[in-house]
Amino acid sequence: MAKKLKKEELADLQKAVNKVNHTQLQIGGLELQKHQLLHEMGAAEAELQSLQATLKEVYGDVTINFHTGAISKDEPSKED
């Protein structure tokens, strides 16, 4: 007859394995979210660059306060 774990030992082992499996599943879900967010970030950056290029064509080299929409001319840098 093969030996068996005691019921309490088996329950503890199953609990530990289930905890590891659950944690791995959660990590996988988080990695998927991270991957999706990185794609969204890339798209958002591309959209921002496109909008900046359009605004540069319309207004030239200026600084725009994105809170108020105020436009100010960039001053040439002074060389020492």
User: Domain for residue 37, yes or no?
Assistant: yes
User: Domain for residue 22, yes or no?
Assistant: yes
User: Domain for residue 2, yes or no?
Assistant: no
Asked if the model's pLDDT at residue 63 lies above 60, the reply is yes
User: Domain for residue 80, yes or no?
Assistant: no
Torsion angle of C-alpha atoms 54, 60, 64, 66, degrees rounded to 10: 0
80 band by pLDDT with thresholds 50, 70 and 90? low
* Residue numbers of the domain that contains 51: 7-73
Average pLDDT over residues 37-41: 98
CA separation for the pair 57, 64 (Å, rounded): 13
What is the count of structural domains for the chain? Answer: 1
